[in-house]
Amino acid sequence: MKSGVHPKLSSDGHLFSHILNRNQDDDIPTYEDMEEFLRFLDKYVSGVVGRRELNKFYRMHPGLTLLDRLTDSDIAYAFLVFENGHEIWAEDEQVRRMNAAEKERYNKTKIQKYHVKKGTRLKIFMDGWLDAGRVYYEVVKTCINNLRLDSDFWNELIMHWKQYVRKNHKIAYEKKEGHLMENDVEDDSSEIEEAVLFDIHDGVLPLPGVGGYEEY
């Protein structure tokens, strides 16, 4: 898998706390400050929507971008799933790098942060998310909504996104004077690592960490 897929957690154990918890009078982050967050939107949050659905959206709305399609709920859910499995993926990568004797002696200890243990039998119509996970999901959703309402921040984020696309994607489109021009993501599946795509099914917890754990 390509390096630079998985973002690091902030010192408080959460993703991008410096972005979610910013005040409206804080300086607007630069592209360099936001690049990891943009990559997370691209490689993780887009998987919540699904590549086929995104391609359909881009064809129907060639002047719009990923940020126009993603909802607060999409972004919050990606945060929740990533943080839920972060320690497990890190431990799995640690074990993968061990030799046979070390693997034989090692006992895995990490568990999901916001979800019942894997293999737990759930009551009908229950999804297994713990109360702490539900609360965190709502907190992130509120933070994203606040960022969206901060027009100065959000407009700059859109500009940063377009710069990110120019830097990282070969196939992109923007509607300009009635013509399709290169500038936003369409079908770029060759650049989307299989390990970070979500597979969403009702009642099943999606874990995007298959294939190894690598930090920025």
Q: Please list the pLDDT of the chain residue by residue as tens digits (216 residues).
A: 344 457 888 888 899 999 999 998 999 999 999 999 999 999 889 988 888 999 999 899 988 999 999 999 999 999 999 998 888 888 888 899 999 999 999 999 888 888 877 766 766 656 778 889 899 999 999 999 999 999 999 999 999 999 999 998 855 544 443 444 444 444 443 333 323 333 333 333 343 333 333 332
Domain count, the chain: 1
Residue type, 59: R
Whether the Cβ atoms of residue 12 and residue 153 lie closer than 8 Å to each other: no
CA–CA distance, 180 with 71 (Å, rounded to integer): 25
CA–CA distance, 125 with 135 (Å, rounded to integer): 19
Residue 173 lies in a domain: yes
Report the pLDDT value the prediction gives residue 124, as an integer from 0 to 100: 64
Residue 166 lies in a domain: yes
Report the pLDDT value the prediction gives residue 67, as an integer from 0 to 100: 94
Whether the Cβ atoms of residue 205 and residue 130 lie closer than 8 Å to each other: no
Report the pLDDT value the prediction gives residue 192, as an integer from 0 to 100: 33
Residue 206 lies in a domain: no
Got the DSSP string for 51-97?
HHHHHHHHHH-TT--HHHH--HHHHHHHHHHHHHHHHHHHHHHHHHT
Whether the Cβ atoms of residue 44 and residue 198 lie closer than 8 Å to each other: yes
Residue 123 lies in a domain: yes
Residue numbers of the domain that contains 114: 17-196
Residue 6 lies in a domain: no
Report the pLDDT value the prediction gives residue 98, as an integer from 0 to 100: 94
Residue 4 lies in a domain: no
Residue 210 lies in a domain: no
Residue 133 lies in a domain: yes
Given its phi and psi angles, is residue 121 left (phi above 0), alpha (psi -120 to 50 degrees) or beta? beta
Report the pLDDT value the prediction gives residue 5, as an integer from 0 to 100: 58
Report the pLDDT value the prediction gives residue 125, as an integer from 0 to 100: 58
